């Protein structure tokens, strides 16, 4: 093939330390993220029932208001639609969703982000890890009794998040704004906020 027909070659930019640097940074991110997730899962649920709170109003053990996820009941530790003995499962789902989408803040701005955006910086493996955690939330929602049509919406949110996060350059910014795991947590809590009789009528 003549040289003028050959496709142009892009200049290679040498990386300091090569792929070992990328592997080291990825390992450091995953280690810090694993410690942060472990600590969040071990954190006790400090919200307490204060009777009939107004929309989104709960108080923690220090008397401070706790930001709710958007359901009228807020983050009640045992909503009326929660199956018996599933308090720990709901607490873990809340912890993982917060870890992925709302556990960090952009310095100087204060906008909440999560480890989903940070882990997503790891080429290839980042999206696989965050996608696995997103699927885990959906599976836990099924075990909490979420109906099929809501599970389909949750899968749609996760699919949009995965597709948007795969866009080169804009994927991480999309993850910061879309927050699929928080959306899915709201769907679970909206379902659990309904008494069991009302849930059966909706199926």
Question: Has residue 142 got a pLDDT over 70?
Answer: yes
Mean pLDDT throughout 143-152? 95
The pLDDT value given to residue 124:
77
Mean pLDDT throughout 39-59? 55
Q: At what angle do helices 171-178 and 148-165 cross, to 10 degrees?
A: 150
Question: Has residue 136 got a pLDDT over 70?
Answer: yes
Strand ranges in 33-91 using DSSP code E only, listed in sequence order: 57-59, 65-67
For the ranges 58-62, 71-75, 166-170, the one whose mean pLDDT is highest: 166-170
Across all residues in the chain, what is the average pLDDT? 76
62-107 confidence digits (pLDDT tens):
444 444 444 444 567 788 888 888 999 999 999 999 999 988 888 8
Rounded CA-CA distance 185/109 in Å is: 25
Question: Has residue 47 got a pLDDT over 60?
Answer: no
The pLDDT value given to residue 117:
84
The pLDDT value given to residue 147:
94
Strand ranges in the chain using DSSP code E only, listed in sequence order: 57-59, 65-67, 104-105, 112-113
Residue 119 contacts residue 176 (beta carbons within 8 Å) = no
Q: Give 134's pLDDT tier (boundaries 50, 70, 90).
A: very high
* Contacts of 38 by beta carbon, 8 Å cutoff, 6+ apart: none
Mean pLDDT throughout 30-49? 76
Rounded CA-CA distance 134/95 in Å is: 12
What are the residue ranges spanned by the domains of the chain?
45-77, 79-203
Partnered with residue 48 across adjacent β-strands are: 59
The pLDDT value given to residue 196:
72
Taking residue 32's Cβ as centre, other Cβ atoms within 10 Å add up to 13
| Signed CA dihedral, 104, 61, 66, 182: sign only | positive
Rounded CA-CA distance 156/125 in Å is: 21
Tokens of 71: 């359901």
Taking residue 122's Cβ as centre, other Cβ atoms within 10 Å add up to 20
Mean pLDDT throughout 38-64? 54
3-37 confidence digits (pLDDT tens):
555 555 545 555 555 677 778 888 888 899 899 88
The pLDDT value given to residue 51:
44
């Amino acid at each position: 093939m003549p040289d003028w027909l050959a496709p142009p070659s892009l200049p290679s930019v040498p990386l300091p330390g090569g792929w070992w640097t990328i592997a080291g940074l990825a390992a450091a991110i995953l280690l810090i993220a694993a410690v942060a997730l472990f600590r969040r899962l071990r954190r006790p649920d400090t919200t307490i029932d204060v009777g009939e709170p107004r929309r989104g109003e709960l108080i923690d053990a220090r008397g401070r208001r706790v930001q709710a996820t958007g359901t009228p009941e807020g983050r009640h530790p045992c909503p009326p639609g929660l199956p018996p003995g599933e308090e720990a499962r709901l607490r873990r789902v809340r912890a993982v969703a917060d870890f992925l989408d709302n556990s960090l803040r952009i310095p100087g701005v204060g906008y909440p982000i999560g480890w989903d955006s940070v882990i997503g910086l790891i080429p290839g493996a980042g999206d696989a890890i965050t996608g696995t955690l997103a699927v885990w939330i959906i599976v836990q929602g099924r075990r909490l009794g979420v109906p099929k049509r809501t599970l389909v919406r949750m899968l749609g949110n996760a699919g949009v998040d995965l597709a948007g996060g795969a866009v080169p350059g804009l994927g991480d910014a999309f993850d910061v704004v879309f927050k699929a795991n928080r959306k899915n947590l709201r769907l679970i809590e909206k379902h659990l906020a309904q008494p069991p009789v009302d849930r059966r009528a909706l199926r």
